[in-house]
């Protein structure tokens, strides 16, 4: 019996592949499994072909699968286009309806075993839909309890009434029945039933923002980040906050900066092209010391690139994007669950250190739906220093302090009026061209970030071994899975997942790589941005290696394991 | 510090004077710059408006005119070039009980910031926007702006840009602004009156102020004579206002239009809270 | 006798300090000297205090002086504010009019010797102006021939008529006469009279652009870059080109991109804040392979910073600014003369390699006026590949080639229509999400830059020694002067001036630093941007040192020499 | 290749048909999308206009509608979101003899690109600008744009944005556009006629096209019935045009305004040349 399996449902637009996938995933959750689901769609804006890639397992899953066990084709209309994204081999099976014509060439070329599966016939027999037949077959092959499937169907289409439910259930049963005759052994070991958390990284970022105290968000729509704002929009009201749709990205970040100046924890949300437009204002927020959370859900760049696919190529821009020297905090969540924690912490750090803080997510974390244990890890609250014992002419907004964080009263507080300033300024915030104030400001803004104790938010070390892999963001999952497999082959590997990318947690990295024989930085971009960043800061030995590979293809654990072994 | 997130009936303080709105910071403006007049009119208007300095926030972009916030005793935000309106929009929505006034120049507001101007007119958040229009980029030493005459000679556009200026008040009316006025920097008292009306008006109020740049456009000092002070008839009919301003002399001062579009709304606070939101994610086979 | 001297003319607005300085500089040029002049002004937009800092010498000058020999105060109104920028010592003299009141405290504090000099009295005696008295005194102290001074006056104020000239000449003579009694020995050795070139770095960039073939420039005004566009505006017409004033920086770069797509070499010009706004479109030009020259005249950042002062803090943004991986060429001129060559080469490289090319100048190069030998070094022309032997359905805009540069016909050419595309695209330029086309595009754009032979444009090596200083841009001048002085103290030093900052000329750097005992990267910014860039690419040994110091104070040769010694 | 930098009397080719303007690339648009109609009308208009495909350049930003250039056989530029107009401005000024047409959506043109729209109207460079207005961001799956009704419900603005839409034709008129028209995507033939007139018009021509998004705004298919096809009286009086469009039904099609502001001028070519420019820098004691 297997501990995890991967199934792809695919078909033309309207055939219901995505519905089959989601229902399957939810059923697996109820049956005590963990899971991941990625949606694929063709070039057409809507109505084109679609596929749901679902992996489920007995233990939490860290990464996209290397290969798929089953592909169920609802029809063959353009489904072949997905072949590069659904790796299969001779151990894989393809359920194909002979009535739907010849399977796509690219699918046949994988060597997967073709199984005749009369979807249309079965569906018409029970007056149901083919996608529910497929769902039933998949659940049967995986060994998922039919009660769990039924419950999921009731949850998802309950509103359509008992007749619709009955039809779906009949189709599911027919599919399951027909699957009995398939020669396959991909049954999962029993799951561990219990409460599960179901959501995407984009939703988890929204949740983390609310948990952290964000009460103002402004954004301009952009794939794959829009869902964060869409998730937040109705919920902001429920916690007394506000979501604004801006006329462009520059307006969005400036609205957030204005709201934050008003004393309200604020956030803006975007993807690559939008981030490029925001960098001027990021410099302003850094210079004027305005708290702000900037979420960047990375997609394939440069330029418009591939909006619906994942890449980690915005790191350079997050680290240094804006003219002049402008230090900022850059955090990257390492998993979907971690999106909530990282974003919550980002809000705290922004508020406590009065600075923009990046949350670097990506399309893969953001849009993958997952079944995980509830992300209960929370960050200790930290808040903005608003009080000052000085007032009137004695009040200095940028007063030097031990931790370089100065009092930041919000408008409404009497006697402590100040002017936020992007010009070089003195301790009062008055513009000045004097070298001494300018240099003091640069040092203050650097030191408040570098001297802060980030505690265990800096990252996570798993495993032990003389080979150390350093990774961030969505690469950490596949790296961990690769390490797990290598360990099964007795290759000892330590994985350093970096959550804090700037300022670089040099000491923690040094400790983690001490005594390493080999250090490899793994990241999903073309030029090794993290590698260059760490090397340029001497946070790694010169012999450290880089494994950098751009999107759009997802990092597969097998690919990483092969490189390292 | 507790923040009041909902608009409150602000109490009016009758004891405030212009002096209460002065800061000790010395303006960098050239002696004789029209912006001194605008500063004075604004300080006067703020006093008359009756909100104390700490309940007022002045937001600006970059330019000579945008330096203004530091010269008052209110809270201030001197942001980046062209982005004052979005900053003010965020601030006002987050803190509706504050009096938020936006100031800047014609370059800041009509050139690089033109889109935010148009959308602020449309969105109708309760802000007062004062543009100190000297028909030139003063701070960068004399280039033509969107309100500069087509034939005005400069280094960057010898012989003139060859593009006719646009009318900011016409754009504002077309984009939906609900209070549109024009003032003259050196008519301090009448300008202050316009500004008081603008602040009192709910929703977005736009005040175009003709403010001479004595250094790069010394001929604008002739505006003192040329301004027509009683030629404008205030109307609440947008079409009539538009007909009155299109192609008309841009040197008339007064309140052009005052409409009644409702200001951008309050956020709804639905009684839900975090627990309900957290619960949405849970799949519980036991439930 | 001296080989170089430095004089400061200062006074309140309208006192004529700048006129005195310019006339002095021009007179020095006519007398066969070389020189530099920097203008300082107070906080006021206009009409405030002003100072002209002039250095002249027998040989070409590489850097701002460490100290000033003479300060001539036309009055004391706020002149004290300039003290930090006019370093003086006990060997310096200050000519002060006793009638103008007590000299500024900050000036007295330098320890300079105060010399009573009755400017106002002398001026009223000859019915001239104080600034011309100052000019006469300075020329006399420096030993500049009065004929040269007269010729310069005729050039500069000739249009005002003979009476005005005569009054000025009388004042100059009176000043020179009065200076005879001053105990000072700062007379220069005789100059080498000959043709000289007089201009600023901003003008030289304009000249280089025209020489290179730029026929379209679009910009939005910003200090200290505006002068480039202002210089070009009237001259573009004279060569059949066009200058456009855009509504903002994003419009400006997009106009330039559009013109370049039309087949016309194009440029946009800005400084830090404007560059931040342009980075989205830079990514487009990189992805779609559109030639473009981007001039960034750096000023002190971040944010609005100090617009009138110099810094080298935009390097990070020039190197990697935009989302995603987007390689570009970054050049930096090493001197005012080099502004012309570098910009001309930038145009050629942009055209030949179909890519954005940066020219990273700064306020100090841009706005310093200089007297130098004519910048005659020119770059070999290179042009855009517009022809293709394929047409119709066979024409592929992004066709693979040996040098990775593909044919780029301009609109108007029949049968070779193509669509410039910022989405990931195949060889035809059609949008594609396929990994193979995306990765091929990334490799193509990287390789065409990395495999190109940049010849001797990469940089310049001067001197020999086991200590090697690496620098770029306006830091090269002070570094060279520091090295010259250290050599006089028998410290052997090699200076590597990098003109090509990206792609990094790794091999040339390796050759230049081979055998070095010590490598020091000198740059004027807060975080050692060049140092991190080179280290991150392993272009330097890990033991290389960084000397990074931000603006606004100019790099002084003495400061660098002291650090190294 | 030699580039012609000066406008020439373009010769008209009578033999061109719609087919000559088709490319082999298959649109990604949803079946039934209004943009198919715009594409067809444009291809028809280009044929009637008589300039061959290689003398035409189509410039666009980002959005479903902005994908159009690849579907024609002309030169094309698919740039970044909101910046099509400046690209086209640069292209046209560098190559005045080309026929330059700009296409895009309401998000691209009125939201992020609003400032360029306003300034293009003012600048009056000889371009034709076609906005395929579906009152929604189609490409990003259904968010309200500046022309979306205030109460249109969406995920990002539940219950509606609460901001009234603006009228693109009123903005264009206020900003100085010299040719202003409105067409309907599914009225292919009349739309093509409008586009021909727009291309022939010297200076900046703006054509707002109502183009239904069948996926996110299926109700817009009702426009087929609602459009008023003969309700517009073309005028050359800007004030009259403005009066006609302000507050009026936005579902009327036709040419609204055609004025006679001169198009943005040619560059002057003064006979100076490089030698004279080089000479300006020289200080020669011998001279
Ligand atoms: C992004 C950006 N672009 C350009 C500038 C340079 N700049 C500063 S002020 C200004 C224009 C000022 O004109 P206006 O707003 O009319 O103000 P004025 O000085 O005339 O009062 C410009 C272009 C800048 N600071 N930032
Ligand atoms: C700078 C930037 N911001 C946002 C986006 C995301 N985006 C792509 S298309 C689009 C809006 C499309 O709306 P519209 O212009 O009306 O075109 P439609 O799809 O409706 O035809 C947006 C916001 C982007 N690509 N680039
Ligand atoms: S330059 Fe003009 S606008 Fe600026 S301060 Fe001087 S007079 Fe005023
Ligand atoms: S989403 Fe709407 S605008 Fe986009 S292609 Fe589909 S129907 Fe057309
Ligand atoms: Mg101005
Ligand atoms: Mg749209």
Q: Are A526 and C424 in contact (CB under 8 A)?
A: no
Average pLDDT score over residue span D156-181: 96
Q: What is the spatial distance between Cα A322 and Cα A324, in angstroms, rounded to a whole number?
A: 6
Q: Which of A308, A309, A532 sits opposite C536 (nearest CB)?
A: A532
Average pLDDT score over residue span C124-128: 94
Within 8 A by CB and 6+ apart from C388, the residues are C395, C399, C407, C409, C416
Q: Which residues of A touch C42 (CB under 8 A)?
A: none
Residue whose pair of structure tokens reads 């201009």 in the numeric block: C199
Q: A4-194 sits in which CATH class? A: alpha beta
Average pLDDT score over residue span C149-171: 91
Domain with CATH 3.40.50.920 in chain A: 457-564
Residue B130 β-bridge partners = B103, B207
* Whole-number percent of chain C with pLDDT over 70: 100
Could you give phi then psi for residue B3, rounded to 5 degrees?
Answer: -105, 135
Residue D9 confidence (pLDDT): 46
Residue A197 β-bridge partners = A372, B282
For residue B169 and ligand 3, the question of a CB distance below 6 A is answered with no
- Whether the upstream peptide bond of residue C552 has omega within 30° of 0, thus cis, is yes
- B2 pLDDT exceeds 60? no
Interface contact flag, C45 B81, Cβ < 8 Å: no
Cα of first residue to Cα of last residue in chain A, in angstroms, is 27
Band of pLDDT at residue D44, cut at 50, 70 and 90:
very high
Tokens encoding D205: 């021509």
Q: Are B35 and B46 in contact (CB under 8 A)?
A: no
Average pLDDT score over residue span C173-180: 96
Q: What is the spatial distance between Cα C405 and Cα A511, in angstroms, rounded to a whole number?
A: 46
Is any Cβ of chain A less than 8 angstroms from the Cβ of C327?
Answer: yes
Chain C residues whose C-beta sits inside 8 Å of any chain B C-beta: 43-48, 220-223, 226, 229-230, 233-234, 243, 245, 247-249, 273, 303-304
Q: Which of D25, D79, D274 sits opposite C239 (nearest CB)?
A: D274
Residue A313 confidence (pLDDT): 98
Nearest to C410 by CA among D13, D103, D100: D100
* Rg for chain C, CA atoms, rounded: 26
For the stretch A167-219, pLDDT in tens is: 999 999 999 999 999 999 999 999 999 999 999 999 999 999 999 999 999 99
Q: What is the spatial distance between Cα A516 and Cα C146, in angstroms, rounded to a whole number?
A: 74
Domain with CATH 3.40.920.10 in chain A: 4-194
- B270 pLDDT exceeds 90? no
Atom of ligand 2 nearest to the CA of D106: 16
Q: Which residues of B touch C226 (CB under 8 A)?
A: 140-141, 143, 156
Atom of ligand 1 nearest to the CA of A280: 1
Show which of residues 373-402 on chain C sit within 8 Å of chain A, judged by CB atoms: none
DSSP structure string for A11-51? ESTTS-HHHHHHHHHHHHHHTT-EEEEEEEE-SSSSSS-EE
- D8 pLDDT exceeds 50? no
Average pLDDT score over residue span B224-230: 96
Band of pLDDT at residue D1, cut at 50, 70 and 90:
very low
Q: Are A434 and C84 in contact (CB under 8 A)?
A: yes
Q: Which residues line ligand 2 (CB under 6 A)?
A: A 220-222, 249, 273-274, 277, 304; D 62-65, 81, 104-108, 132, 134, 136-140, 145
Residue A77 confidence (pLDDT): 85
Interface contact flag, C233 B157, Cβ < 8 Å: yes
DSSP C188: B
The SS3 assignment for A491 reads: coil
* CA angle, A305 then A320 then A270, to 5°: 45
Protein residues within 5 Å, CB atom, of ion ligand 6: D 105-106, 134
- C67 pLDDT exceeds 80? yes
Band of pLDDT at residue D5, cut at 50, 70 and 90:
very low
Interface contact flag, D112 A220, Cβ < 8 Å: yes
* Contacting subunits of D (3+ beta carbon pairs below 8 A): A, B, C
Number of helices (H), then strands (E), in chain B: 9, 8
Residue D267 confidence (pLDDT): 65
- D247 pLDDT exceeds 70? yes
Residue B285 confidence (pLDDT): 82
Residue B269 confidence (pLDDT): 65
Q: What is the spatial distance between Cα D208 and Cα C483, in angstroms, rounded to a whole number?
A: 65
Sorted by where each starts, the structural domains of chain D and their CATH numbers stand as 18-279 (3.40.50.970)
DSSP C380: P
- D135 pLDDT exceeds 50? yes
Q: What is the spatial distance between Cα B131 and Cα A48, in angstroms, rounded to a whole number?
A: 50
Residue A372 β-bridge partners = A197
Q: Which residues of D touch C215 (CB under 8 A)?
A: 5, 94
Average pLDDT score over residue span C226-249: 96
Q: Which of A46, A221, A273 sits opposite D156 (nearest CB)?
A: A221
Q: C457-564 sits in which CATH class? A: alpha beta
Residue D3 confidence (pLDDT): 52
Max Cα distance, chain A (Å): 86
Interface contact flag, D115 B118, Cβ < 8 Å: yes
Tokens encoding B135: 């028909």
Residue whose pair of structure tokens reads 């063959």 in the numeric block: A76
For the stretch D192-242, pLDDT in tens is: 999 999 999 999 999 999 999 999 999 999 999 999 998 999 999 999 999
Residue D7 confidence (pLDDT): 44
For the stretch B99-152, pLDDT in tens is: 999 999 999 999 999 999 999 999 999 999 999 999 999 999 999 999 999 999
- Of residues B286 and A237, more confidence is placed in A237
Interface contact flag, A322 C301, Cβ < 8 Å: yes
For residue B136 and ligand 3, the question of a CB distance below 6 A is answered with no
Tokens encoding C14: 């309208």
Q: Which of A167-181, C105-119, D261-275 has the lowest mean pLDDT?
A: D261-275
Nearest to C220 by CA among C264, C253, C242: C253
Residue D200 confidence (pLDDT): 97
- Distances, alpha carbon C48 to alpha carbons B27, B31, B52, B63, C106, in Å: 12, 10, 34, 17, 18
Q: Which residues of B touch C233 (CB under 8 A)?
A: 155-158
Neighbours of C462 (CB within 10 A): 15
* Whole-number percent of chain C with pLDDT over 90: 93
Q: What is the spatial distance between Cα D262 and Cα D245, in angstroms, rounded to a whole number?
A: 23
Chain B residues whose C-beta sits inside 8 Å of any chain D C-beta: 111-115, 118-119, 122-124, 146, 162-167, 170-171, 173-176, 238-239, 242-243, 246-247, 261, 264-265
Could you give phi then psi for residue C456, rounded to 5 degrees?
Answer: -85, 10
Interface contact flag, D146 A230, Cβ < 8 Å: no
ipTM above 0.95, yes or no: yes
Task: Please state which CATH number belongs to domain A198-373.
Answer: 3.40.50.970
Q: Which of A32, A207, A284 sits opposite B80 (nearest CB)?
A: A284
Tokens encoding C256: 């330039």
Tokens encoding C438: 């995306």
For the stretch D71-128, pLDDT in tens is: 999 999 999 999 999 999 999 999 999 999 999 999 999 999 999 999 999 999 999 9
For residue B30 and ligand 3, the question of a CB distance below 6 A is answered with yes
DSSP structure string for A311-369? --TTHHHHHH-SSS----EEE--SSHHHHHHHHHHHHHHHHHHTSEEEEEEEHHHHH-E
The SS3 assignment for C243 reads: strand
Q: Which of A284, A305, A536 sits opposite C423 (nearest CB)?
A: A305
Residue A43 confidence (pLDDT): 80
Residue B168 confidence (pLDDT): 98
- Distances, alpha carbon C447 to alpha carbons C281, C315, C453, in Å: 21, 22, 12
For the stretch A327-382, pLDDT in tens is: 999 999 999 999 999 999 999 999 999 999 999 999 999 999 999 999 989 999 99
Q: What is the dihedral of CA A133, A136, A137, A139, to 10 degrees?
A: 160
DSSP structure string for A207-260? HHHHHHT--EEEE---TTTHHHHHHHHHHHHHTT-EEEE-SSHHHHHHHHHHHH
CA A310 to chain centroid, in Å, comes to: 10
Residue B6 confidence (pLDDT): 40
CA distance B31 to chain C (A): 8
Nearest to B214 by CA among B144, B135, B269: B135
CA distance C32 to chain A (A): 35
DSSP structure string for A462-485? ES--SEEEEEEGGGHHHHHHHHHH
For residue B103 and ligand 1, the question of a CB distance below 6 A is answered with no
- Distances, alpha carbon C271 to alpha carbons A120, C310, C314, in Å: 65, 11, 9
Q: Which of D31, D137, D156 sits opposite A233 (nearest CB)?
A: D156
Q: Which residues of C touch D74 (CB under 8 A)?
A: 417
Spacing, Cα B213 to ligand 3 middle (Å):
5
Atom of ligand 4 nearest to the CA of D217: 2
Residue A305 confidence (pLDDT): 98
Band of pLDDT at residue B9, cut at 50, 70 and 90:
very low
Q: Are C137 and C183 in contact (CB under 8 A)?
A: no
Tokens encoding C91: 């060997």
Neighbours of D3 (CB within 10 A): 16
Residue B10 confidence (pLDDT): 59
Q: What is the spatial distance between Cα C29 and Cα C55, in angstroms, rounded to a whole number?
A: 11
Cβ-Cβ pairs closer than 8 A, C with D, add up to 200
Could you give phi then psi for residue A529, rounded to 5 degrees?
Answer: -65, -40
Residue B286 confidence (pLDDT): 76
CA A222 to chain centroid, in Å, comes to: 15
Q: What is the spatial distance between Cα B252 and Cα B210, in angstroms, rounded to a whole number?
A: 10
Interface contact flag, C258 D89, Cβ < 8 Å: yes
- Chain B residue closest to D145 (CA)? B119
Spacing, Cα B28 to ligand 4 middle (Å):
53
CA distance A367 to chain D (A): 14
Interface contact flag, A32 B285, Cβ < 8 Å: yes
Residue whose pair of structure tokens reads 């005012």 in the numeric block: C336
Interface test with A, best of D83, D112, D161, D214 (most A CBs within 10 A): D112
DSSP B235: B
CA distance D284 to chain C (A): 5
Average pLDDT score over residue span C386-408: 95
For residue D68 and ligand 4, the question of a CB distance below 6 A is answered with no
Residue D182 β-bridge partners = D208, D254
Average pLDDT score over residue span C280-299: 98
Q: What is chain A's percent helix, strand, coil content, to nearest 5?
A: 40, 20, 40
* Whole-number percent of chain B with pLDDT over 70: 95
Q: Which of A198, A258, A415 sits opposite B91 (nearest CB)?
A: A258
- Distances, alpha carbon D36 to alpha carbons A100, D65, D228, in Å: 30, 9, 21
Q: What is the spatial distance between Cα A386 and Cα A380, in angstroms, rounded to a whole number?
A: 19
Going from the first residue of chain A to its last (565 residues), give the mean pLDDT of each consecutive group of 10, the final group possibly shorter: 95 92 96 96 85 96 94 92 94 94 92 95 95 97 95 89 93 96 94 94 98 98 98 95 97 98 98 98 98 98 97 98 98 97 98 98 97 92 94 95 98 97 98 97 98 98 97 98 95 97 98 97 98 98 97 95 93
Measured in residues, chain B has a length of 287
Band of pLDDT at residue B267, cut at 50, 70 and 90:
low
């Amino acid at each position: 019996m297997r501990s995890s399996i991967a199934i792809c449902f695919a078909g033309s637009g309207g055939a219901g592949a995505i519905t089959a996938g989601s229902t399957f995933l939810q059923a697996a959750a109820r049956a005590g499994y963990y899971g991941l689901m990625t949606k694929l769609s063709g070039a057409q804006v809507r109505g084109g072909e679609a596929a749901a890639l679902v992996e489920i397992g007995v233990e939490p899953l860290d990464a996209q699968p290397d290969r798929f066990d089953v592909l169920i084709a609802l029809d063959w209309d353009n489904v072949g286009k997905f072949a590069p994204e659904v790796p299969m081999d001779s151990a894989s099976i393809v359920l194909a309806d002979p009535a739907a014509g010849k399977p796509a060439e690219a699918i046949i070329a994988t060597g997967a075993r073709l199984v005749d599966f009369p979807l249309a016939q079965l569906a018409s027999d029970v007056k149901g839909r083919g996608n529910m037949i497929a769902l039933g077959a998949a659940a049967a092959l995986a060994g998922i309890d039919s009660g769990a499937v039924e419950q999921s169907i009731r949850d998802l289409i309950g509103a359509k009434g008992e007749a619709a439910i009955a039809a779906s259930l009949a189709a599911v049963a027919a599919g399951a029945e027909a699957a009995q005759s398939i020669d396959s052994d991909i049954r999962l070991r029993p799951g561990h039933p219990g409460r599960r958390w179901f959501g995407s990284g984009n939703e988890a970022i929204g949740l983390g923002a609310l948990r952290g105290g964000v009460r103002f968000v402004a954004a301009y729509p952009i794939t794959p980040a829009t869902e964060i704002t869409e998730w937040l929009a109705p919920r902001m009201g429920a916690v007394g906050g506000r979501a604004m749709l801006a006329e462009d990205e520059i307006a969005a970040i400036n609205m957030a900066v204005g709201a934050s100046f008003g004393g309200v924890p604020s956030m803006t949300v975007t993807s690559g092209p939008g981030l490029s437009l925001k960098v001027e204002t990021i410099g302003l927020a850094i210079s004027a010391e305005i708290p702000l959370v900037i979420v960047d859900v990375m997609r394939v760049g440069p330029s418009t690139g591939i909006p619906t696919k994942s890449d980690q190529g915005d790191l350079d821009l997050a680290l240094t994007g804006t003219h002049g020297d402008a230090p900022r905090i850059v955090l990257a969540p390492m998993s979907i669950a971690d999106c909530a924690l990282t974003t919550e912490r980002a809000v705290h750090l922004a508020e406590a250190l009065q600075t923009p803080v990046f949350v670097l997510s990506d399309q893969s974390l953001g849009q993958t739906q997952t079944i995980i244990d509830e992300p209960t890890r929370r960050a200790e609250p930290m808040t903005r220093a608003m009080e000052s014992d000085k007032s009137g002419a004695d009040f200095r907004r940028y007063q030097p302090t031990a931790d370089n964080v100065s009092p930041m009263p919000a408008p409404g507080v009497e006697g402590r009026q100040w002017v936020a300033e992007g010009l070089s300024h003195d301790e009062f915030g008055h513009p000045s061209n004097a070298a001494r104030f300018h240099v003091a400001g640069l040092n203050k803004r650097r030191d408040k970030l570098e001297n802060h104790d980030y505690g265990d938010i800096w990252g996570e070390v798993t495993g032990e071994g003389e080979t150390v892999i350093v990774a961030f963001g969505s690469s950490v999952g596949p790296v961990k899975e690769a390490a797990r497999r290598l360990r099964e082959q007795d290759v000892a590997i330590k994985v350093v997942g970096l959550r804090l990318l700037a300022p670089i947690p040099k000491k923690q990295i040094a400790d983690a790589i001490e005594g390493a024989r080999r250090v490899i930085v793994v990241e999903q971009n073309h030029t090794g941005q993290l590698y260059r960043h760490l090397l340029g800061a001497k946070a790694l030995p010169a012999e450290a290696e880089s494994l950098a590979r751009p999107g759009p293809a997802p990092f597969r654990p097998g690919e990483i394991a092969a490189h390292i072994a | 510090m507790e923040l009041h997130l909902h608009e409150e009936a602000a109490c009016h303080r009758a004891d405030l004077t212009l002096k209460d709105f002065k800061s000790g910071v010395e303006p960098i403006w050239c002696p004789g710059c029209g912006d001194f007049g605008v500063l004075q009119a604004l300080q006067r208007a703020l006093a008359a408006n009756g909100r104390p300095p700490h309940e007022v926030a002045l937001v600006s972009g970059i330019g000579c005119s945008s330096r203004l916030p530091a010269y008052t005793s209110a809270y201030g935000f001197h942001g980046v070039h062209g982005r004052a309106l979005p900053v003010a929009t965020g601030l006002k929505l987050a803190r509706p009980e504050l009096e938020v006034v936006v100031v800047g120049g014609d370059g800041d507001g009509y050139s690089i910031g033109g889109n935010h101007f148009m959308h602020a007119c449309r969105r109708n958040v309760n802000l007062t926007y004062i543009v100190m229009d000297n028909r030139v980029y003063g701070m960068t030493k004399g280039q033509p702006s969107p309100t500069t005459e087509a034939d005005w000679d400069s280094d960057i556009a010898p012989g003139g840009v060859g593009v006719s200026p646009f009318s900011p008040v016409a754009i504002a009316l077309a984009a939906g602004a609900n209070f549109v006025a024009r003032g003259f920097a050196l008519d301090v008292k009448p300008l202050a009156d316009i500004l008081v009306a603008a602040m009192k008006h709910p929703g977005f109020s736009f005040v175009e102020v003709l403010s001479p740049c004595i250094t790069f456009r010394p001929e604008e000092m002739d505006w003192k004579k040329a301004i027509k002070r009683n030629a404008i008839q205030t109307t609440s009919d947008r079409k009539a206002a538009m007909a009155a301003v299109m192609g008309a002399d841009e040197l008339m001062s007064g309140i052009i239009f005052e409409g009644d579009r409702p200001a951008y709304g309050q956020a709804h606070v639905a009684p839900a809270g975090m627990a309900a939101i957290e619960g949405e994610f849970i799949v519980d086979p036991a439930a």
